[in-house]
Amino acid sequence: MDKTTDTLARYVTSLRYQDLSPRAVREAKRHLIDSLGCAMGGHGSEPAVIARRLAPEWNGASSARLLGVGRPTTPEAAAFANSVMIRFLDANDTYIARGSGHPSDMLGALLAAAECQGASGKDLLLALVAGYEVFGALADQISLRDRGWDQGVFVAPAAAAGAGLLLGLSATQMAEAIAIAATANVATRQTRAGELSMWKGCATAAATKAGLFAAQLAREGMTGPTAAFEGRHGVGEQVTGPFEIGELGGRDRSFAVERTNFKSFAAEYHAQAPLATALALRDKVRLDEIEAIDVQIYAMAHSEIGSEPAKWDPQTRETADHSLPYMLAVAWQDGRITPASFEPRRYLDPSLRPLMNRIRVAENPEFTRRFPQELPSQIDVVTRSGQRFTGRAEYPKGHARNPMTDADVATKFRDLSADVLGAARVDAVLQAQGMGRAISVAFARAGADIVASDVATGGTRNENEEGLAEIRLGWKGLESLAGEIQGLGRKVLTLVGDVSRAADAERFVKDALARFGRIDVLVNNAAAPHGADRRLLWEVPEEAWDLVIDVNLKGTFLMSRAVIPHMLSRGSGRIVNMASVAGKRGTARRGAYAASKFGVIGLTQALAQEVAAHGITVNAICPGSVDTSRRESTSRRERALAEREPGAPVLSLPPTGRIARPDDIARLALFFASAASDHITGQAWNVDGGAVMH
């Protein structure tokens, strides 16, 4: 293989989760949730409907589901359809360098590969970082736009790399996959010239599908060209010109995912800064006062959104979201830019044309010189009376140097997803870990100040993790939880450590007392991640057993032991332990989990008797299935297991017809903490819709 292919393949296959910086992990989670929100926003679009209509029904072991409907199909069809959804609104992320594009376009392939493989959350995050790194490595060195080629040249090899990592390719196989993807997916930029069609949002989805297929072929033994980039008639000679891959992420260099930008508006990326400037100027200049609007931007932006006649008279949605004159006119008239701004009734509205015709867009050579390190733009508004108002911007909201907050990303996800998922499901996704977050927020809403703890991201205690949902769409984590609690007007202390370690448990209590002076309620909610413990008992590794017992049972003991002396000194307190219906009825392939939860119930009853005379109650909550991301991955694994081994347990609905939600658990925790439960102690109450009635 040539040097470029070999460098990328060896880098990707040698990358490990522990190599990722905390910031890279955090940004990977943020980009994933942002992309899923974009997919939900594009779910009802005509291109997405067409893609789903062509996706065949496929219930085999290697199936993947269509986002928003859950119907299983082939991995390739899922990769294409889901990437079409992600891309349609033009709201997904953007990488800006010598070349540019949308790395998240590849996520359809990664999600499909992850589901087929039953991959863990860590696996998916690692693949995302690796895929973005390949995309960035190419975009850093190659300017496709000037040569008339499209960004699929970046997307296909990146998708092959990320999907190949999930498929377990060796370095040799990875090189074959990258070579196949690179040589077979050279698309022209006509897709993004003149009046744009539906294919504008589908071209990279096709490259994504091809990247996944290249990885599948390589896994089966298919070989690719040996000099895909550097050889005769290769990508370098025919498409990009000579280039050399620079330093890749890790050690002292940031990862590409950390340098990838979010969009605050559902519009072409180079319009982000001018739109924000226009909305700010709108407060100073009335629409009927405008004589002319002069926009100065850098060459790439001018070429993309302000240089062709079609931009002043868009006839398609795709042209409208790549038309700076149109978007500025809508922003000035409506005071906002949303997905609804690109409906036909809006972009065909003749009332917008007079203002659009007063908008002039020009390249500023100085701005071009400063690009891509900066994204400068300037808008000058001249009024009929001759006044001039000027606005400038260098880094739009969402740029790596002007980042969106976690709350911004969550709000964007909520706005884009609500119509498809519904408010309750959106809340469930954004609640991340699920029960812990729901309980913390419920107590804050009830007027409590909160101390919340979690293990460090990427800690070794999570090596048992296997389920896709253990990605913890609580990407938001403690930082975001703290922001939400503070937004409710309550104080919060966040702590990092491991409840199964005595020193950490004692430190948690000490720090909480130092901050707040007292502890009224302890909720023991820490849970070991599922994984290697979910096997037949004689197949469970000792370390997997120990992890579950240590976190679930020993952690409950250590935290209770640490807080009891304080509660005894005050003559009051409430302890709420998170058990499970599995602690009342053991189930095959959950031996460690059942043992830990039986233990929690026994500990609850014993401790309740020991402290009852001191004004302290101790109770346990026993959830059944709870609608969190963890439950989704668990049920998926069980369905796959049942296909292989008839008789294996599969989760089913309880008599109430639905599984529990995190807020169901939170309400009972609040009750056990309230005065209404003064005479209730030593109890283990089920919250399972009647699945287990004792």
Nearest to 296, CA basis, from 394, 384, 373: 394
Cα-based angle 545, 431, 159 (whole degrees, multiple of 5): 80
Element (H, E) at 449: none
Q: Residue 370: what are its φ and ψ, rounded to 5°?
A: -80, -15
Nearest to 277, CA basis, from 378, 364, 356, 374: 378
Rounded CA Rg of the chain: 27
Nearest to 35, CA basis, from 475, 335, 463, 388: 475
662 vs 651: CA distance, rounded Å = 17
Cα-based angle 515, 518, 520 (whole degrees, multiple of 5): 125
Chain position carrying tokens 């709000």: 411
Chain position carrying tokens 């409840």: 499
Q: Are strands 95-96 and 64-65 parallel, antiparallel or unpaired?
A: unpaired
170 vs 564: CA distance, rounded Å = 53
611 vs 650: CA distance, rounded Å = 39
35 vs 13: CA distance, rounded Å = 25
Cβ contact 622:684 at 8 Å:
yes
Cβ contact 248:137 at 8 Å:
yes
Check 95, 298, 326, 593 and give the catalytic one: 593
Cα-based angle 314, 318, 323 (whole degrees, multiple of 5): 50
What is the identity of the amino acid at 224? G
Taking every pair of C-alpha atoms in the chain, what is the biggest distance, in angstroms? 85
Q: Can you say whether the dihedral through the CA atoms of 395, 400, 405, 410 is positive or negative?
A: positive
Q: Is 593 tagged catalytic?
A: yes
206 vs 208: CA distance, rounded Å = 5
142 vs 446: CA distance, rounded Å = 55
Tokens standing for 405? 């907050």
Catalytic residues: 593
